Structure 1
Amino acid sequence: DGKTFWNESDIYHFIGKDIVYHHYLFLPAMRLGINNEFKLPDYIPTRGHLTLEGKKISKSRNWYIGLKDFLEKFPADYLRFYLISINPYSQDDLNFDWEQFSTKINSELIGNLGNLVNRALGFTTKAFDGVVPEPESFDEKDSESEKKIKSLADDVGKLMQENHLDRALKQLMEFSAHFNQYFQHKEPWKKGPGTNACIFLSVNAVRSIAICLHSFLPKSSQKIWSQLGLEGNVSDISWNEMSELKLKAGHKIGTVEPIFSKVESSDIEKEQSKLGN
């Protein structure tokens, strides 16, 4: 029932810094005065306020971004990625800056993570007809990358449990950056020794990313999951499975296409021109 579900769960109350007294003192006191049937929150992460282009958000001054308008132009996952990446584990205010938004999406999300997905799966399609190859014996670089996969669940999970969501996302992006560098170092397009191992590990790294990314960008993670040729919902996969190399030789990946679209400078200029007018 609802009572059991509540009391056996870890309860998090995410609040703004302006209502600390209410949630730390008044609400618990009221709850304790009524009954003890429902436990108090285990954690109350407190965050600062969101400003826009360095100014306080105000609808009357037309200094705000309407969510409906935003979603008509950009995917919801773009907003999720940006806000998580700039949201510190503190009560410091965070600022929505359109130029920074564009840079983070184009350079980090697309240039890093999207690039790895496209090059790993795209090369598998081009060079191996979309079939994961049988890897050769791992060299030092391969073994290092394998360890990255096997430690990802713990590395990101610890930060998530501590509510360091920005650091957790950064950890995932560093994982992606590592495999971009690994792919570049191995040069599989030259089809030399170690090509199969590179593709085998890179495709499995993309699978790990899909599982981990679901906590941050659910829509995008499902697209990656489908392009890997995997059935069902990535949300049904357990967290620790991201650190397992489950895509074996012979697995056929799906149709590969770009996951993300670039944010154009003209779009940013248009959004900036709306503010205050």
Structure 2
Amino acid sequence: MPDKVLVTSAWPYMNVTPHLGNLVGSVLSADVAARYYRLKGDDVLFVSGSDEHGTPIEVEALKRGMTPKELTEKNHAKVSILFKQWNASYDNYTSTESSVHKNFVQKTLLEIQHNGYIFEQETQMLYCEHDQRFLPDRFVEGKCPYCGAEKARGDQCDLCGKLLEPTSLVEPYCIICKNKPIVQTTKHWYIDLSKLAEPLSEYIKANQQLPANAKSFSLNWIKEGLKPRAVTRDVEWGIPAPFEGAEGKTIYVWIDAVLGYVSATIEYYKHTDQTEKWREFWLDKTAKTLYFVGKDNIPFHTIILPALLLASGQDYNLPWNVSATEFLQFKGQKASKSQRIGIWIDEALEMFPVDYWRFFLIATRPESKDTNFTWNAFAYKINADLNDTFGNFIHRTLSFINSKFNGIIPSPTKLETDDQTVLDTVKEKVEQAAKEIEAGWLQSATNTLISISRIGNQYLNTKEPWNLMKTDREKAGTIFYVVAQVVKAATVVSSPFMPQTAEQIWQTLQLPGNVCKWNEATIPIEAGHKIAKPNPLFHKVETDEAKLDEQLAEIRTKLGTLPK
């Protein structure tokens, strides 16, 4: 029986277009996993959506003189198209404005309140007298009370990762008018996380799949003492709070968004004839749920989401794995659209084909520490690994078979020990790549992919079949029979990372359908099979950083992607 695997990626805010760092940590990593599990033959559902609520949306809308709804509808449409261009294979990419999502969030919060985990109380909040509004999370900045970082937001400090309350900021100021706010009393609804500390701790300790960074961060957070977290906010844009007496208040964005993984699953099956199948992914204890996020999102997926699921009383599956990446920096700096630091996902596709970017981003994925994007690093990976190793091996192999054997996979004579060793080693590499993907070590899996083509290249260089053609054509044919099998294996392993390229090779091999199942990667292409004439897969990229920066600047002018 195939496993049921729910793959999810963090919901991007629709205040701006995502940059490459946003993409690799969530969307792209999740897509690689979803494609792999489909190749493995599992029952896979891949969901996410646009986070259209929250104060970042309101702040950006204010800057642009638009309503939040106008801004998010425009950006959701744009980002949905961009993700398709990046070949993100979502089964359902929805939004937090979906009626299914809104109803599910309100229903679930009422269940949590009924179960005794949500309470109401008056509280002190920051209020801007100039703008005559309360200042939740992103509407206020100041110094972090823990690490002293400047420009810490009212919900979280980017530097130390601590979750914050607006009133805990040192020297706070309103981000709209820059004035110092006052403290006023308001009423809010809270989820009492302290009541859930024990089951949350037990879940995290028992979860063997959680990476070390996610596990240690979460357990330390619990150890420091879980405090009640606000469920409601004094803002107009968001899901209306369903609690009695909460008129005019909306749901805090991170409570709203993390419940979207469940609602997106429900929504997907609502449009099929299997409306209740969503339960197989969320209530069947054999199902796996995989989450791909940036490290700043760890507590929302290991603490907040599990807390909500536990408090609902519905016995939902808790996250099976939360794969959290560190940050991708740009030339040593954090991405910033206002300061023109970074590369945005629409700009990237104007510069190079999508599979160049997909391969590079996963091959340099910041899995254990922050990584730094430079054009030199990009050029090296594309030119050395993708073009000279992977692309060269496949093109030289298929071109030789086409020119010297009329495009027919030659019949092997007796496979000698070194021939069989190549096939056995490649099989081991395919198995190794599978283990690495399942463990969340996607960067290592790309290295394994390149090593498969490197094995093929080394084998060809050692055997020199082009010389054997003059004296022992049959032996040369055996060598090309062997490397044809290596090409097939490399094609299957490359498919989660570079789906367009993999399909191009598959079509050249003239094998049936789309790229085959993972466990068929090393099943031989039969002798006598006819292949098509290959075309080069890649080309070398420019290595002059100044020229690439100039090209990026021209694209930004063309797209109008950055503010003046």
Pairing partner for 2:326 from 43, 48, 51: 48
How big is the shift at 1:78? 0.9
In structure 2, distance between residues paired with 1:44 and 1:66: 25
Q: Provide, for residues 172-201 of structure 1, a one-character-per-residue CA deviation record: whole Å limited to 9, x for no partner.
A: 111110110001111111114421111001
Hey, what does 1:107 align to over in structure 2? 384
8 Å CA contact retained: 1:131, 1:252: yes
Among 455, 459, 470, the residue aligned to 1:178: 455
CA distance in 2, matches of 1:14, 1:172: 22
Contact 2:411 2:478 in 1 (8 A): yes
Residues in 2 aligned to 1:269 and 1:220: alpha-carbon distance in whole angstroms: 29
Q: Which moved further from structure 2: 4-13 or 65-74?
A: 4-13
Which position in structure 2 is the counterpart of 1:258? 536
Look up the match of 2:294.
16
227, 236, 244: which one pairs with 2:508? 227
Match of 1:95 in 2: 372
Distance 1:112 1:208 in 2: 15
How do 1:1-277 and structure 2 match up within 5 A?
A: 1-6=277-282, 7=284, 8-90=286-368, 92-190=369-467, 191=469, 192-193=471-472, 194-234=475-515, 237-245=516-524, 247-265=525-543, 268-273=545-550, 274=552
Say which is worse superposed, 1-10 or 81-90, in terms of deviation.
Answer: 1-10
Structure 1 contact 149–242 (Cα < 8 Å) conserved: no
The worse-fitting range, judged by mean Cα deviation, of 120-129 and 68-77 is 68-77
Q: Supply the distance in 1 between the matched residues of 2:449 and 2:299 (Cα, whole angstroms).
A: 35
Letter in 2 for 1:196: G
On the 8 A contact 1:88/1:164 being kept in 2, the answer is no
Query: What is the CA distance between 1:25 and its match in structure 2?
Result: 1.4
For 1:183, the aligned partner's letter is L
Bigger shift: 123-132 or 28-37? 28-37
For 2:299, the aligned partner's letter is Y
Q: Secondary structure at the match of 1:243?
A: coil
Deviation at 1:109, TM superposition (A): 0.5
Which one has a larger percent strand, Structure 1 or Structure 2? 2
> Contact 1:151/1:243 (CA < 8 Å) preserved in 2?
no
Whether the aligned pair in 1 keeps the contact of 2:281 and 2:288 (CA below 8 Å) is no
**Matches of 1:61 and 1:150 in 2, distance apart?**
48
Distance 1:96 1:117 in 2: 28
- Structure ranking higher on relative contact order (CA contacts 8 Å, 6+ apart): 1
The alpha carbon displacement at 1:37 in A equals 4.3
The question of whether the paired residues in 2 share the 8 Å contact of 1:106 and 1:262 is answered with yes
Displacement of 1:88 after TM fit?
A: 4.2
Q: Quote the Cα distance in structure 2 between the aligned partners of 1:179 and 1:263.
A: 24
User: What's the TM-score, normalizing by structure 2?
Assistant: 0.46
Amino acid in structure 2 at the alignment position of 1:87: R
Q: What SS class does the counterpart of residue 392 from structure 2 fall into?
A: helix
Cα separation, 1, equivalents of 2:295 and 2:287: 24
2:291 counterpart SS class: coil
- The alpha-carbon deviation at position 31 of structure 1 amounts to 1.5
* Aligned sequence identity (%): 32
Number of aligned pairs? 272
Say if 1:150 and 1:244, in contact at 8 Å, map to a contact too: no
Deviation at 1:161, TM superposition (A): 1.1
* Distance in 1 between residues matched to 2:529 and 2:507, nearest whole Å: 13
Equivalent position of 2:97 in the other structure: none
**Is the contact made by 1:179 and 1:202 (CA closer than 8 Å) also made in structure 2?**
yes
Could you tell me which runs of 5 or more consecutive residues in structure 1 were left unpaired when the two chains were aligned. none
Measure, in 1, the Cα distance between the counterparts of 2:432 and 2:350: 35
Deviations 1:113-142 (A, max 9, x none): 000111100000111010011111122221
Q: In 2, Cα distance between the equivalents of 1:62 and 1:150?
A: 45
Q: Distance in 1 between matches of 2:508 and 2:293?
A: 37
Look up the SS of the partner of 1:226 in the other structure.
Answer: helix
CA distance in 1, matches of 2:322, 2:344: 28
Check whether the contact 1:131–1:251 (CA below 8 A) recurs between aligned residues. yes
SS in 2 for 1:58: coil
More helix by share: 1
Q: CA deviation at 1:210?
A: 1.0
Whole-Å Cα distance in 1 between the matches of residues 520 and 429 of structure 2? 10
Q: 2:314 & 2:430 partners in 1: Cα distance? A: 36
* C-alpha distance in structure 1 between counterparts of 2:347 and 2:427, whole Å: 41
Q: Which has the larger radius of gyration?
A: 2
Q: Which aligned segments of 4 or more residues in structure 1 are displaced greater than 4 angstroms? A: 274-277
Give the letter aligned to residue 204 of structure 1: Q
